[in-house]
Amino acid sequence: AGATPAPARPAESAAAAVTALRRSLGTARDGAGALALAAEPSRCGLLTSVAASCAGYVTVLG
């Protein structure tokens, strides 16, 4: 069985929370994009949709 990740520390401010969220979404966007390049064609569309969604959220968050 896999280990349970430690809970994340709460952000010290709203700005720090937005920055952390933006960073996490950017990481998810990049990861989904990289996986889409190596995935089966039947899964490529789903992964590119996830990457596009994360990119959209990053844009909205500024």
Reported as a single tens digit per residue, the pLDDT across 11-44 is 688 888 899 999 999 999 999 999 999 999 999 9
The DSSP annotation for 9-59 comes to: PPPSSHHHHHHHHHHHHHHHHHHHHHHHHHS-HHHHHHHHHHHHHHHHHHH
Residue 24, token pair as written in the block: 């996490």
Q: What is the pLDDT of residue 6?
A: 65
Does position 3 have pLDDT exceeding 80, yes or no? no
